[in-house]
Chain A
């Protein structure tokens, strides 16, 4: 049973920063591909249910209403809703990927500890993890896109820009949540609170189902803070061809700013936690 003697090769140079990040992504992909079927099913099934319930069921109720037509700019409710749900779906997928799996990788699976014993630095690990979540959002967004095309809710190639905006919106939220998750020592209900008091209200009141101008004036500023409102405006505007340049620049600027802050916080938090 005795194996051959081991050979000891020459040392290798350390990977450049971007190459190290790609290796982290590759490691996460190896883990993910074991369960990809379940993930694909859920990322198609969820939008399917939402579109059927709201786009078709609820939409058929209001499509005859003149007031609704005024709010949707005259398009069918399904067409109005579909690009916004693309952004909602990105934020929801981001919320799942950025909460429990992150804490688990620190605390229970301890896989981050294993990775940072190699030449990979905590900062590279953080960026690799976020890059992986972005890829997940691109993948699930693509599945979503196919579904809404089958529903006939796509009006033109603008929806491809909506896809990009939805991913950006999801990542602006994800980076902040990953930084938060990396700071958690115990599960302790923090994530339940995030889902209940942040993700759910954000989904309901960010202009997805109705314009935020319908909200009471005092709560409208809450929608302005929400990355999902900015993502929804961008995605819907791009898909319906109604996007104004100045408004787009403002929404984009806000999401990019959130993303930059989130990435920096995540890198910092990973470094603090993995080097103590």
Chain B
């Protein structure tokens, strides 16, 4: 990886000691990031971790409070409009114009990038096809489902052929089918060489999409790597989940602690981290444990997050 400091040609986003303050509250407390061309880079963390503030600084919308930031080799404080002209932004909350048709949303937006009417029309037709909304082109926006609106927002963000796309929690609030359709579109963009930055609090989304990610908590980066690396570094191969009737789980962590690398107690279950979940389950049964249900699964980023912060990601 061309990672030596000072080379910016392949680094689309480079941040050093990046901070964002809102009055006395510091949302981002000094983070370093490098995003390389062609990769899908993720910010994973709970609500309030500082993901959106970071995304807004990279989008050249919110000025940084401190530190260094370069996007596409330029300084957002100096060249904000030039950088924004080459970005595609999908905000956390849809901000499509609900009083325009599907097609007009794309036409109006493309014009803000200085595109000619003809170029906007051609590109919009191509994009409506890409997000499978061609047959809805002339519908008013109210008639679209949540997933369709999200796809339209993605189409809109692509109107200017962006080199870098920023997606802030792209699938929050969507049903599973709509999420998978969206992931498929994003994956196709990656194949076409678009660099994607995604913030999410869904571990499955991060695992599915991201080549590399940082785990954020309390405005800081607490871990960095590929999903596979992070799981290997911070968790075991498998996890045994034991569910107990409410009130019955007390005492078991001590009894079982030597059977696993690590034991986490959640409100409704115990998590035993071990290389071999089935063997651990058999050993637990021999010690007289009688849970209401058991599950052996592979470790996920959720487990990494739990390990790093002592809290679960989504609740």
Contact = CB atoms under 8 A, between A and B. Distances in A.
Interface stretch (A5-13, A151-159, A169-177, A225-233): A5-13
A1 B95 contact: no
B30 interface: no
A274 B80 CA distance: 13
Contacts of B25: none
A37 interface: no
Contacts of B95: 109-111, 113-114
A20 B113 CA distance: 9
Contacts of B161: 6-9
B99 interface: yes
A149 to B, nearest CB: 34
B116 to A, nearest CB: 10
Contacts of A3: 126, 129-132
A8 B192 CA distance: 9
Given A3-B130, A6-B130, A117-B61, A23 B85 contact: no
- Chain A interface residue bracket vs B: 35 or more
A8 B114 contact: no
Contacts of B114: 12-15, 19, 23, 119
Contacts of B80: 121
B22 to A, nearest CB: 7
B251 to A, nearest CB: 50
Nearest to B84: A119
Interface string A27-50: 100110010000000000000000
Interface in A95-125: 109-111, 113-121
A230 B109 CA distance: 39
A109 B111 contact: no
B129 A4 contact: yes
A64 interface: no
Most buried by B among A8, A27, A119, A276: A119
Contact of B193 (A8, A12, A15, A118): A8
Contacts of B189: 6
- Chain B interface residue bracket vs A: 35 or more
B22 A31 contact: no
B194 interface: yes
Interface string B186-203: 001100111000000000
Interface in A220-243: none
A265 B81 CA distance: 22
Given A4-B126, A30-B107, A109-B97, A119 B85 contact: yes
A103 to B, nearest CB: 15
A118 B129 contact: no
B85 to A, nearest CB: 4
B85 A12 contact: yes
A31 B99 contact: yes
A113 B97 contact: no
A191 B130 CA distance: 43
A115 B189 CA distance: 23
Nearest to A34: B99
Contacts of A20: 112
Given A31-B99, A109-B99, A117-B84, A23 B158 contact: no
B192 A111 contact: no
Contacts of A31: 97, 99-100, 108
Interface string B125-141: 01101111000000000
A2 to B, nearest CB: 9
Nearest to B80: A121
A109 B86 CA distance: 24
A26 B110 CA distance: 12
A8 B86 CA distance: 11
Nearest to A26: B111
Contacts of B91: 113-114, 117
A244 interface: no
A12 B113 contact: yes
Contacts of B100: 30-31, 34
A213 interface: no
Nearest to A5: B192
A121 B81 contact: yes
Given A3-B126, A116-B61, 18 more contacts: A4-B126, A5-B192, A6-B126, A7-B161, A8-B163, A8-B194, A11-B85, A12-B85, A14-B81, A19-B114, A27-B111, A31-B108, A109-B98, A109-B99, A117-B59, A119-B82, A119-B113, A120-B81
28 contacts: A3-B129, A3-B130, A3-B132, A4-B130, A6-B127, A6-B158, A8-B161, A11-B86, A12-B85, A12-B113, A14-B114, A15-B114, A23-B111, A30-B108, A31-B97, A34-B99, A109-B95, A110-B93, A110-B95, A111-B95, A113-B91, A114-B91, A114-B97, A117-B59, A117-B61, A117-B84, A119-B81, A276-B62
Interface of B: 22, 59, 61-63, 80-82, 84-87, 89, 91, 93, 95-100, 104, 107-109, 111-115, 126-127, 129-132, 158, 160-161, 163, 188-189, 192-194
